[in-house]
Amino acid sequence: MNQPASRRSRPRRWRLLLPLLAGVLLAACGGDNTRPTPPQPVAPVVPDPVLPPPKIGLALGGGAAKGFAHIGVIKMLEANGLAPDVVAGTSAGSVVGALYAGGMDPFQLQEKAVALDEAKIRDVRLFSGGLIQGVALQDYVNAQVGKRPIERLRKPFAAVATRLETGERTVFVRGNTGQAVRASSSVPGVFEPVTIGQYQYVDGGVVSPVPVDAARQLGADFVIAVDISSKATGKRPDGMLGIVNQSISIMGQRLGEQELARADVVIRPNVLDYGSADFTRRNQAILEGEKAALAALPQIRAALDKFKAQRLQAARAEAAKRAAAQAPQLPPCKPRPRFGLGRDQGDCIPAAN
């Protein structure tokens, strides 16, 4: 039996309406499941900090006539773009360091070294047992730096000496340049102690054979140390000055090793067999300094790159920390009320203040 057309189309309409009705029912029971989740905090983009180049310090050790090797080291450092920013010196290193800090370039230092008449800086006093007074050395240094005090030299400079009364290390960073160098170079038993104020001072090599810590005190970030000190090699040193210098080196060897460990790079020119009073080999000593510095260049550059990378990493972390502290904070969040099943557990709305 045929049914009316209107009845035959009725089930088809219901079938079309069923999905719509299901959606309405689900919406009524479960609520709106398409609400966007709250915004998540985004880490701020922090540009790399701009850092100044590291300040290079040069620590020049003692070694009497072997100190000419320091000139060769300075020549090669400057020629390869590694000019020191600050200089610290002990004994012979204080002489070269003062002249360099005073404004002499390495070639001028070499000219002065070649022309130097050591007799002019040895003022022996017969009434003090044949000891060298040291005033001639003081006057020579002051003349070369234009009689400027330490604080007015072109580069920050420190001369290290030993306070005779207490054995304390003393770092001269101001005052009479020649007098500080004289105090730093006053080898016990060879030079008279130097009186400055109420104290007497002798060679800085007794307590600081290579003044790495003094270079740090001047503000150096990266320290290159030059070690020319005598070592106990089983050979008998020549002359009184050689004996005294080796004795001082033996006394300060343990302290020197500890201080050298705090340098970033140590350069050791091959001058151990040079006599402490042998001024005739000054040109060879300068050449040995050049060779040792050239050989150390890869190590210096690698250590500098490592230092720069570590410093940049630390600066990035600090900059990110500051940026995070200054970033605007999102308002606190509370869960949306659940009206049915199927709601996202993390859905929330801003809490009222």
User: SS3 for 29?
Assistant: helix
The stretch 98-117 carries a mean pLDDT of: 94
- Quickly count: other Cβ atoms within 10 Å of residue 348's Cβ: 15
pLDDT tens readout for residues 307-338: 999 999 998 888 888 877 877 766 666 665 55
Which residues have CB under 8 Å from 305's CB, separation 6+?
none
Is residue 300 pLDDT above 60, yes or no?
yes
State the DSSP string of 233-278: -SSPPPHHHHHHHHHHHHHHHHHHHHHHTTSSEEE--S-TTS-TT-
Residue tagged 């502290």 (tokens): 325
What integer pLDDT is reported at residue 53 of this predicted model? 92
What confidence score (pLDDT) does residue 287 get?
97
**How confident is residue 38, by pLDDT bands cut at 50, 70 and 90?**
low
Q: Which residues lie closer than 8 Å to 29 by C-beta, 6 or more apart?
A: 339, 340, 341
Q: What is the pLDDT of residue 343?
A: 46
Has residue 342 been placed in a domain?
Answer: no
Rounded Cα–Cα distance for residues 345 and 298 (Å): 59
- Does the pLDDT of residue 353 top 80, yes or no? no
**Mean of the pLDDT values across residues 190-214?**
93
Is 305 a domain residue?
yes
* Domains held by the chain: number: 1
Tell me, what's the pLDDT at 324? 79
Q: Is residue 28 part of a domain?
A: no
For residue 205, being part of any structural domain is answered with yes
- Count how many residues are written for the chain: 353
What string of H, E and C letters represents the secondary structure of 155-213?
CCEEEEEEECCCCCEEEECCCCHHHHHHHHCCCECCECCEEECCEEEEEHHHCCCCCHH
Q: What integer pLDDT is reported at residue 341 of this predicted model?
A: 47
pLDDT at site 255: 73
Q: Specify the pLDDT at position 8.
A: 52
Q: Is 223 helix (H, G, I), strand (E, B) or coil?
A: strand
**Average pLDDT score over residue span 328-353:** 56
> Considering the domain boundaries, does residue 149 fall inside one?
yes
Predicted confidence band at 144 (pLDDT cuts at 50, 70, 90)? very high
Name residue 256's amino acid.
G
Over the stretch 59-82, which tens digit does the pLDDT of each residue have? Answer: 999 988 899 999 999 999 999 999
Q: Read off the CATH number of the domain in which 131 is found.
A: 3.40.1090.10
Instruction: Select the more confidently predicted residue: 1 or 302.
Output: 302
Q: What is the dihedral of CA 164, 150, 94, 83, to 10 degrees?
A: 150
Tell me whether residue 339 is in a domain: no
- pLDDT of 129 above 70: no
| Biggest distance spanned by C-alpha atoms of the chain | 151
Please state the separation of Cα 340 from the chain's center in Å.
65
- Give the range among 41-50, 70-79, 113-122, 339-348 with minimum mean pLDDT: 339-348
Task: Give tens-digit pLDDT for 230-265.
Answer: 766 566 666 666 676 667 666 666 777 889 999 999
Residue linked to tokens 């404004």: 103
Question: What average pLDDT does range 131-157 have in this prediction?
Answer: 95
Q: How far apart are CA 259 and CA 265, in angstroms?
A: 12
Which residues are annotated as catalytic? 91, 203
pLDDT at 20 over 90: no
Asked if residue 210 belongs to a domain, the reply is: yes
Of 263, 279, 261, which Cα lies nearest the Cα of 271?
279
Q: How far is CA 22 from the centre of its chain?
A: 74
CA angle 8, 12, 18 (to 5 degrees): 145
The C-alpha atoms of residue 75 and residue 63 are separated, in whole angstroms, by 19
pLDDT tier at 342, thresholds 50, 70, 90: very low
Domain of 248 in residue numbering reads as 56-311
- 310 vs 28, higher pLDDT: 310
pLDDT digits (tens, 9 = 90+) for 215-232: 999 999 999 999 998 766
pLDDT of amino acid 14: 54
The span from the CA of 353 to the CA of 341, in Å, is 29
Whole-model pTM: value is 0.78
When pLDDT is cut at 50, 70 and 90, the band that residue 345 belongs to is: very low
- The crossing angle, in degrees rounded to 10, of helices 69-79 and 92-101 is 40
**Residue 353 falls inside a structural domain:** no
